Amino acid sequence: MTSTRLPGKVLLPFGNQSVLETMFLRLKDFQKNIIVATTNDNTEAPIVDVCQKNGIQFYRGDTENVLGRYYEAATHFGAAKNDIVVRLTSDCPFIDPTLLDKALSLFENNQYDMVSLGPHSGFPRGLDTCVFNYELLEQTHLKATHKADREHVTLGMTKFQDLNVMNISAGEDHSHYRITLDEPDDYKMLQSLFDYFNFNTQFSYEDLIQALTTQPEISSINQHVEQKTA
């Protein structure tokens, strides 16, 4: 709720619901596993209301110390050493459940410490998914002291131990497309893209890429927006 560039962005109207609720709908098969790690700075009441309305678990934690908030949320809900934690960010309403399934399968069936899917692998900015276990989250929480490492959950994870990381590749470079929500033009673009899909939340990654590549009047709306660096 305290975003400096687009305040209250996750609860902006989006189709027939809010941005955050659109993400819930995209992740409907994972609903019982979702925990919204919100803040405790007295701005979170509308987010808590949305969670309660949709039957989603939530945890209130420090606004700036996002790593600590993640750790406390996982601990509060009983996470154990080898339990899987998935980091998703709530300004990505078009998160892809099939790609999430792929990331989970790779993590569960191999000896990776982390499975990651992000724009550096060729995916559009806004599908970011990171899978790791609770033990890694806990160790990072206990050791990270740098401000940036506390503000970004996974940023410091490789500082304290060698990790076997699997980065899922998109196979093509679509990283210049933005389907994340940081600035007003991102919101305008996402609204136009959602309208293109007739506000249907259940579309595939292939449908998404087809829309981005064949509808330049939509995908170009926010091409000038630069991603905020850590």
Examine residue 1 and state whether it is found in any structural domain, yes or no: no
What string of pLDDT tens digits covers the 230 residues of the chain?
Answer: 988 889 999 999 999 999 999 999 999 999 999 999 999 999 999 999 999 999 999 999 999 999 999 999 999 999 999 999 999 999 999 999 999 999 999 999 999 999 999 878 999 999 999 999 999 999 999 999 999 999 999 999 999 999 999 999 999 999 999 999 999 999 999 999 999 999 999 999 999 999 999 999 999 999 999 876 65
Examine residue 4 and state whether it is found in any structural domain, yes or no: no
Number of domains the chain contains: 1
pLDDT of the residue at 2: 87
For 206, the domain range is: 9-221
pLDDT of the residue at 229: 62
Examine residue 227 and state whether it is found in any structural domain, yes or no: no
pLDDT of the residue at 180: 96
Examine residue 229 and state whether it is found in any structural domain, yes or no: no
Examine residue 228 and state whether it is found in any structural domain, yes or no: no
Examine residue 99 and state whether it is found in any structural domain, yes or no: yes
pLDDT of the residue at 101: 98
CA 116 to chain centre: 12
Examine residue 134 and state whether it is found in any structural domain, yes or no: yes
CATH of the domain at 67: 3.90.550.10
